[in-house]
Amino acid sequence: MKLHNEYSGGKLAHTIVGAAAAMLVSGVAHADPVTVVSWGGSYGEAQDKALFTDASKNSGIEIIRESGASMSKACLQVQSGAVTWDLVVTGSGGAASAAAEGCLEKIDYSVVDVSDFYPNLYTDYCVGADVFATVMAWNTEKYGEPGTEGAPSTWADFFDVEKFPGTRAYRANNVDGALEPALMADGVPPEQVYEVLSTREGKERAIAKIRELKPHIAVFWESGAMQAQLMKDAEVDMTTGWNGRFDNAKKDGAAVGYTFNQAMLDYDCFAMPKGAPNKDMAMKFLAEVSKPEYQANLPFHITYGPTNKKAYEVTTAPKELIEALPSHPNNVPLMLPINLDWYAEHRAEALELYMELLSE
């Protein structure tokens, strides 16, 4: 669901060397390294520290770690018959679309143990890596600290510019997580949101609600980095975005708060491009990183939650940190889980309608 565009020359060189190395050793059948592709920046670093390094050491599976994960690139590899990636990090929606395009390998659940996973955090084609929430965040100097009297708490508040006068930011050029808040603000109960959105009228109802707010939307954000920057610079008073980014912005001194209430529970996951060169080994590595003992370390490096329930039992992270994670059992019931079936079927049409609204 997230658009991470973080490339670096060093990583590219790494990629090329890695690919060349993979080609050189491909004649040897036994231990080809598994190519794991994630995003750059703090997200990839967190995964390296919490998951990849230790999992590789403990399982003895050698990995080549690359950056610049993108489902569109993975699909291009599949379609051109030159697959070099084994495991790719992706947003859940991206995985759903890629699976629908026939770009992904089915996950072998006899190898990957998901018995302790939250049921919505894995599909036939991808295994949840971490849980994040698309929340509404606001300038606490303007609207008060979360949970205090008079602070915003629902999407209706987000869309109410009379009760909460000020500017807003909303998602640009991507419909993921953009229509649900509008319907909730328009009075649709969270559990009916996707049902309503399954009709053209429902989508248009959501679009109409956003159209009402549009004069007050000062900026449309393109990335997580931009969400954080907008709040740090007080460029807008309220925005939608990913909870981890606002925690980071707050650490940097921004007056920003957010609520999990009515937020959209979503996850990043590992997917395997169809025809991955080291399918079997990669599946074993995926099984390893999905174990609770690795996921338990994730919160130390990024405020995204584990997808494996057991990780909460074995983690040594302090209580406040654990309770602040989107997948904490206290927070989950507040939120609307993203419905991937809806995205697989309706994403293209919803995006057209949303782009039409944005271009008005």
Partner 1 sequence: MNRPDAAEGGNRDRNAGMLRAQERREEWGLLSLAAPALLVIVLVILIPVGWLFYLSFIGGDGQFSLEHYRKMVEYKSYARTFATTFEVSILTTGICILLGYPLAYFLALLPPRWAGIFMLAVLLPFWTSLLVRTYAWLVLLQRKGMLNEFAIHIGLWDSPVKLVHNMTGTLIGMAHIMLPFLVLPLYSAMKKIDRDMMHAAANLGASPATAFRQVYLPLSLSGMVAGSLIVFILCLGFYVTPAVLGGGRVIMVSTQITAILENQFDWGAASALGVVLLVATLLVLYIAARFFKFDAALFGKG
CB of 98 to partner 1, least distance (A): 7
7 binds partner 1 (CB under 8 A): no
CB of 56 to partner 1, least distance (A): 29
What is the number of other CB atoms lying within 10 angstroms of the CB of residue 124? 10
Cα→Cα distances 168→219, 235, 244, 278, Å: 7, 9, 19, 46
Residue 21 vs 348, nearer CB to partner 1: 348
How, if at all, do strands 336-337 and 256-271 pair?
parallel
Q: Which two tokens stand for residue 329?
A: 């059992």
Query: What track of x and - describes contact with partner 1 for positions 203 through 242 (by CB under 8 A)?
Result: ---------------xxxxx----------xxx-------
352 binds partner 1 (CB under 8 A): yes
56 binds partner 1 (CB under 8 A): no
Residue from 37, 46, 63, 75 touching partner 1 (CB under 8 A): that is 75
User: Which of these ranges, 107-115, 166-174, 194-202, 290-298, lies near partner 1 under the rule CB under 8 A?
Assistant: 166-174
Residue from 45, 48, 62, 101 touching partner 1 (CB under 8 A): that is 101
173 binds partner 1 (CB under 8 A): yes
CA 207 – CA 287 distance, rounded (Å): 41
Residue 220 vs 300, nearer CB to partner 1: 220
CA 190 – CA 183 distance, rounded (Å): 8
CB of 236 to partner 1, least distance (A): 8
**Residue 117 DSSP code:** B
141 binds partner 1 (CB under 8 A): no
CA 209 – CA 159 distance, rounded (Å): 8
Residue 122 vs 354, nearer CB to partner 1: 354
Residue 239 vs 327, nearer CB to partner 1: 239
- Reported as type and span, the H/E element at residue 212 is helix 200-213
Number of residues written out for the chain: 360
Residues 6+ apart with CB under 8 A from 23: none
Residue 50 vs 71, nearer CB to partner 1: 71
Residue 123: name the closest of 96, 91, 100 by CA: 96
96 binds partner 1 (CB under 8 A): no
Sign of the C-alpha dihedral computed for residues 329, 334, 340 and 341 taken in this order: positive
User: Which of these ranges, 57-65, 95-103, 135-143, 296-304, lies near partner 1 under the rule CB under 8 A?
Assistant: 95-103
Cα→Cα distances 24→17, 28, 29, 329, Å: 10, 9, 12, 47
269 binds partner 1 (CB under 8 A): no
CA 49 – CA 43 distance, rounded (Å): 10
CB of 351 to partner 1, least distance (A): 6
Residue 266: name the closest of 196, 172, 178, 155 by CA: 178
344 binds partner 1 (CB under 8 A): no
359 binds partner 1 (CB under 8 A): yes
CB of 234 to partner 1, least distance (A): 5
- The residues of the shown chain that bind partner 1, judged by CB under 8 A, are 3, 70-72, 75-76, 97-98, 101, 103, 167, 170, 172-176, 218-222, 233-235, 347-348, 351-353, 355-356, 358-360
